Amino acid sequence: MTLLNEILQHNQSFVENKEYEKFKTDKFPDKRMVILSCMDTRLVELLPKSMNIRNGDVKIIKTAGAIVSHPFGSVMRSIIVAIYELNADEVFVIGHHDCGMSSVNVESVMDKMKDRNIDEHTISIIENSGIRIKNWLRGFDDVVESVKNSVEIIRNHPLIPEDVFVHGLVISPDTGKLDLVTNGYEVKKI
């Protein structure tokens, strides 16, 4: 059985047994917050449990490394929509220890692209379009500095109002312990 068939079979049972009823909520986050976190599999259940978050409490955006890589990219658009359309008034950037983005080997990723038939011509076209793939794929050396950087990009974005608090934290993927990096209540927009 393929993974897709397994998922569809489970979904059919899930719907028929009305298991969705315990998850009913609306689109507005009850705790009026947005979380930007890493896509690491260890955080799927650990992060919400460690923060006492239930279904319907928050908007969660996941990226590789909890990184805001562009001030006008899809991550910032999602945060802005959550603020203006969904009533969020706090943003939490949550990186984690032992993050794969702190050790991503760009050369290895590029080699794997080529092994999977992404040809040099395609890479050349992208490079000649102004996108430096190696910079785009690069991670970070220090998770705390990376969280601070993402917090600053969000907090100082020209479309983020001054009354939105932006916090930075780092979580342990083993224990769920949160370490405070930036207390948004104490830092003003530049």
SS (H, E, C) 32-62: CEEEEEECCCCHHHHHHHHCCCCCCCEEEEE
Confirm if 56 and 131 have CB atoms less than 8 A apart.
no
- Give the integer Cα–Cα distance in Å for 186 and 9: 50
Residue-level pLDDT at 103? 86
58-to-25, 28, 89 alpha-carbon distances in Å? 11, 8, 11
- Taking only the tens of pLDDT, the chain with its 190 residues reads 899 999 999 999 999 999 999 999 999 999 999 999 999 999 999 999 999 999 999 999 999 999 999 999 999 999 999 999 999 999 999 999 999 999 899 999 999 999 999 999 999 999 999 999 988 898 899 999 999 999 999 999 999 999 999 999 999 999 999 999 999 999 876 6
3 state SS of 10: helix
3 state SS of 188: coil
Query: What is this structure's pTM?
Result: 0.91
Confirm if 59 and 34 have CB atoms less than 8 A apart.
yes
Residue-level pLDDT at 180? 98
Convert 148-185 to b/e letters by CB count within 10 Å (16 or more is b). bbbbbbbbebeebeeebbbbbbbbebeebebeebbebe
- Give the integer Cα–Cα distance in Å for 173 and 180: 15
- Give the integer Cα–Cα distance in Å for 148 and 140: 12
According to DSSP, the residues that pair with 155 across neighbouring strands are none
- Give the integer Cα–Cα distance in Å for 154 and 31: 19
Residue-level pLDDT at 1? 83
Task: Give tens-digit pLDDT for 69-122.
Answer: 999 999 999 999 999 999 999 999 999 999 999 989 999 999 999 999 999 999
Q: 78 is written with which tokens?
A: 């999602």
- Give the integer Cα–Cα distance in Å for 134 and 110: 8
